[in-house]
Amino acid sequence: MNTKKLESIARKLPPFVTRFGKRIAVNFRAKDQLRACRDGYLQHSGKYKQPILFIAGLPKSGSTWIEKMVSSYEGYHEYLLPAIAKHELLTGGSHDFEMPNGMFDHLQKMLVLTKMHSHGSKNNVDILEKAGIRYVVLHRDLRDVAVSYHFYVCNTPWHPEYPKHKNKRVQEGLEIFGNRMLPAYVHWVRSWKQNAVPEHSVQIRYEDMIINPLEGMTKITTLFELDNSKETIGRIVDAHSFKNMSGGRDSGTSSDSAFARKGVAGDWKNHFTPKLREQYGKIIAEFLIETTDEVDDSWITEES
């Protein structure tokens, strides 16, 4: 049974049942993923200098898109650590996950691509540095993150935040996100900016990836010491364009489907009311000037 069918069944079950099932499924999936990573190493390790590739993505910032493109390199396989999945199911997110010592020790002689939503605490950066792992950090305009987050949670019954967003209007969901998650997401971006080691990492805005995915992927593959020829990068980017990944739908649509929504930058303007602009402005007005193309806080009072 494929993933879509399983998710369809899960949405018809009580949330606590789906959360329990997902917790069990994570362990089985991890075993299969590790097996694939070992096989990849046995067959292709001679091609690569970096056996473990790490992507730190702010939730709902396109990190799955980047993950799919990087895993196109033959031999690498995605791996989600069960500890992170369990933390997310218990707390509602993994953005505050602290890596334990020796977290990557069991990944010897494997080709691994692991994506996490963990913040850039000094502890997490130190563990990556000690393990000799290079890392890509991806973030996005938090107003768009909020919109994407609400739609995602509404369609994910096993998510701990689901009861708070279920059957809520978009504006209600955005208000909830602003109260519950927004400050922590600000901290997430700043933590990586403050603690990441520039020589071993690259930080990319989702909006820049949308505008020029070729340039973005060239930066990523250069960091990871992968083939970054124009031909290879072009082939990967084309295969993972939003149009191709969404079955031919236009990436600029404001549809609420998972793939279509991923291509939208600035969609927050279609949903933010004056009240929401004021709420978010109190928290992120200065932050947006630091991290986006906003030059002032005039967006707070602009008409939608």
DSSP conformation class of 297: S
Q: Specify burial of residue 15 (Cβ count, 10 A radius: 0-12, 13-18, 19+).
A: middle
What confidence score (pLDDT) does residue 276 get?
Answer: 98
CB atoms under 10 Å from CB of 168, counted, come to 15
Q: Are 246 and 257 in contact (CB under 8 A)?
A: yes
CA dihedral 106, 25, 82, 75 (to 10 degrees): 50
Tell me the Ramachandran region of residue 206: left when phi exceeds 0, alpha when psi lies from -120 to 50, beta otherwise: alpha
Please, how many CA atoms are within 13 Å of residue 148, restricted to the half-sphere of its CB?
22
Sorting pLDDT into bands at 50, 70 and 90, what band is 11? low
Cα distances (Å, whole numbers) of residue 72 to 50, 78, 107, 113, 182: 15, 10, 20, 11, 33
Host domain of residue 36: 3-300
Closest to 74 (Cα-Cα) out of 95, 105, 33, 46 = 46
Cα distances (Å, whole numbers) of residue 196 to 137, 192, 201, 287: 9, 5, 7, 18
- How far apart, in whole angstroms, are the C-alpha atoms of residue 54 and residue 127? 12
pTM, full prediction: 0.86
Record the tokens describing residue 128, joined without a space.
């990556």
DSSP percent split of the chain into helix, strand, coil, nearest 5:
60, 10, 35
CATH code, domain with 252: 3.40.50.300
Record the tokens describing residue 113, joined without a space.
């691509």
**At residue 3, does pLDDT exceed 60?**
no
Please, how many CA atoms are within 13 Å of residue 136, restricted to the half-sphere of its CB?
31
| Total of domains in the chain | 1
Question: What string of H, E and C letters represents the secondary structure of 109-122?
Answer: CCCEEEEECCCCCH
- How far apart, in whole angstroms, are the C-alpha atoms of residue 10 and residue 5? 9
Question: What string of H, E and C letters represents the secondary structure of 183-245?
Answer: HHHHHHHHHHHHHCCHHHEEEEEHHHHHHCHHHHHHHHHHHCCCCCCHHHHHHHHHHCCHHHH
**What DSSP assignment string belongs to 35-65?**
HHHHHHHHHHGGG-S-SEEEEEE-TTSSHHH
What confidence score (pLDDT) does residue 258 get?
Answer: 45
Mean pLDDT score across all residues of the chain = 87
Residue count of the chain: 304
**At residue 250, does pLDDT exceed 70?**
no
Q: pLDDT digits over 37-51, tens only? A: 999 999 999 999 999
CB atoms under 10 Å from CB of 244, counted, come to 12
Record the tokens describing residue 217, joined without a space.
């992927």
What confidence score (pLDDT) does residue 255 get?
Answer: 36
Read off the pLDDT of each residue in 15-28 and give the average, rounded to a whole number.
59
Q: pLDDT digits over 101-138, tens only? A: 999 999 999 999 999 999 999 999 999 999 999 999 99
